Chains A and B, each alone.
Chain A
């Protein structure tokens, strides 16, 4: 084994260890239940963002209906456990299987075309799934939702409070992050980066671009499905509202804010957007009377534009590099 290449990998290994320590000690100083619950939602969003960042950053494709994959996981878990008394873990695995298969079928068709058709297809999927959740009342409970989702348990151990659930969600995220880093630093990651740089050149060395895009789409859908299952077992309830078009847009914003150059951006993007949402919800009513969710969407838009101008590579690498001026100013 070559030493140079060990050090090349080392930043990721050290990063993962430091990140694990940070995650492990956070509940020790975060005493507020409100903040802990926010941290759980950030963890779930980070899992979603991780998949989307792989899809956007490495396959160069955008999903505008990622909430649909999220909903598939959530509802598969909820329906199978509530209506058919499946074990939550089995339901979670079936959710992954169903969602992954759906993503595979969509990608199989879409990636025969070049260009950004995936954005359109997933946009449509998002709308269809959202409407279906409201309409198939017998199965989904319709707009009023499905209560009574059981808690997750392993043997006699039950994830019955926020501290336990926090560790579960972030352990899942940490494992998926490690998995993603390994994929990125492998022949598959290299092939994906090659496709991103030049699809013609990638094909000329034998990389089947559409097949690799398809794999990443399936992987990101699987992550989203897992996030959905974790979400319903935490909420113990599911309704269509968290899976609307806004949710898909928010996920794209999280991925863009975190940065697409590295999968490390995912937790930062998720945290930044969720903390901002909380902040806006608490402060916006002071400035605008009767401020609603739609006002926060405007703020998202402004922030997204600012980030695209000042930190086109996202918050993480933007802050790390400390670029003082955007390129159009430094040219003068």
Chain B
């Protein structure tokens, strides 16, 4: 079953067409990768799925439910989590606090209960703390809780961002270039982490430039070039696809 259905999405920025008629079904529990040369429209598609801005035409559905017109924070409540290329952590907060904010959609205490520190609020704080620690341990940062997020090396900041998204318990997690800037060892850890996320029942859709990593990790690959989807299939199929090879050779490896 497709958990995410992207139907004939187009996006115009002024006169520039960033996406043209892109359709893609993301199967539940399968790791899907979205690849393509720079400027192909991958991040634009992520932003449309996450609700950062609306598409010019087309529809996005999560488990059959139409998402058009919903704001980003409403989509998080429905189960879409995302990370950004540049991590976008809350720099003024500690690592732990960043992930605690991630628990926001699963907590409900209002301003009066918070101001009076009512028992319900204390119980929920305890719950939020434990959940945040759970996901920080999952990404291997359980010992860095009290550091200011902006003081961590970039690779670890990305892990915090993943933990922050997971804390909302998404059904679908969008990872935007999670491996950029990581060394070989960190990439192996990342592959391991994404597989564990998959085992938790989360469907992962990732944008990634590192082909070795994509071929190792992804079970399904969709290729964008100049705003169009030019191919999709298993890693083996994509590797043999003439159009994909042309797009890549013509773009950067020539």
Q: Is the interface of B mostly helix, strand, loop or mixed?
A: helix
* Most chain A beta carbons < 10 A, residue from B88, B109, B168: B88
Q: Which of A1, A186, A194, A201 contacts B114 (CB 8 A)?
A: A186
Residue on A nearest B100 in the bound complex, by CB: A190
- CA A186 to CA B76, docked complex, whole Å: 20
User: For window 202-234 of chain B, which residues contact chain A by CB distance below 8 Å?
Assistant: none
Give the A interface residue count (CB, 8 A). Answer: 31
Whether A206 contacts B114 by the Cβ 8 Å rule is: no
Chain B residues, Cβ within 8 Å of A202: 90, 101
- CA A182 to CA B50, docked complex, whole Å: 32
Q: Within the complex, what minimum Cβ distance (angstroms) separates A12 from chain B?
A: 11
Is there a chain B Cβ closer than 8 Å to A207's Cβ? yes
Chain B residues, Cβ within 8 Å of A193: 90, 92-93, 97
Whether B116 contacts A182 by the Cβ 8 Å rule is: yes
- CA A202 to CA B105, docked complex, whole Å: 11
- CA A244 to CA B115, docked complex, whole Å: 31
Is there a chain B Cβ closer than 8 Å to A230's Cβ? no
Chain A residues, Cβ within 8 Å of B82: 204
Q: Which of A5, A180, A203 contacts B71 (CB 8 A)?
A: A203
Residue on A nearest B87 in the bound complex, by CB: A201
Residue on B nearest A261 in the bound complex, by CB: B92
Q: Which of B84, B117, B168 contacts A182 (CB 8 A)?
A: B117
Is there a chain A Cβ closer than 8 Å to B5's Cβ? no
Kindly state the interface size class of chain B when it binds its partner.
Answer: 35 or more
Chain A residues, Cβ within 8 Å of B126: 1
Whether B125 contacts A186 by the Cβ 8 Å rule is: yes
Q: Within the complex, what minimum Cβ distance (angstroms) separates B139 from chain A?
A: 15
Known interface pairs A187-B109, A215-B111. Does A206 touch B77 (Cβ–Cβ under 8 Å)?
yes
User: For window 76-121 of chain B, which residues contact chain A by CB distance below 8 Å?
Assistant: 76-77, 81-82, 84, 88-93, 97, 100-105, 107, 109-111, 114-117, 121
Chain A residues, Cβ within 8 Å of B91: 197
Chain B residues, Cβ within 8 Å of A1: 126
Chain A residues, Cβ within 8 Å of B77: 206
Whether A208 contacts B111 by the Cβ 8 Å rule is: no
User: For window 162-196 of chain A, which residues contact chain B by CB distance below 8 Å?
Assistant: 179-180, 182-183, 186-191, 193-194, 196
Known interface pairs A179-B115, A183-B115, A197-B90. Does A204 touch B72 (Cβ–Cβ under 8 Å)?
yes
Q: Within the complex, what minimum Cβ distance (angstroms) separates A239 from chain B?
A: 33
Chain A residues, Cβ within 8 Å of B71: 203, 208
Chain B residues, Cβ within 8 Å of A186: 109, 114-115, 117, 121, 125
- CA A201 to CA B89, docked complex, whole Å: 7
Is there a chain B Cβ closer than 8 Å to A4's Cβ? yes
Q: Which of B73, B88, B115, B121 contacts A208 (CB 8 A)?
A: B73
Q: Which residues on B are within 8 Å of A, measured CB to CB?
A: 50, 52, 71-74, 76-77, 81-82, 84, 88-93, 97, 100-105, 107, 109-111, 114-117, 121, 124-126, 128-129, 146, 164-165, 167-168
Q: Which residues on A are within 8 Å of B, measured CB to CB?
A: 1-2, 4-5, 179-180, 182-183, 186-191, 193-194, 196-198, 200-209, 215, 219
8 further contact pairs, Cβ within 8 A, besides A4-B146, A202-B90: A182-B116, A187-B107, A188-B111, A197-B89, A197-B92, A203-B76, A205-B101, A219-B111
The 9 A-B pairs of least Cβ separation, nearest first, read A206-B76, A206-B105, A186-B114, A197-B90, A179-B115, A201-B88, A203-B72, A194-B101, A208-B73
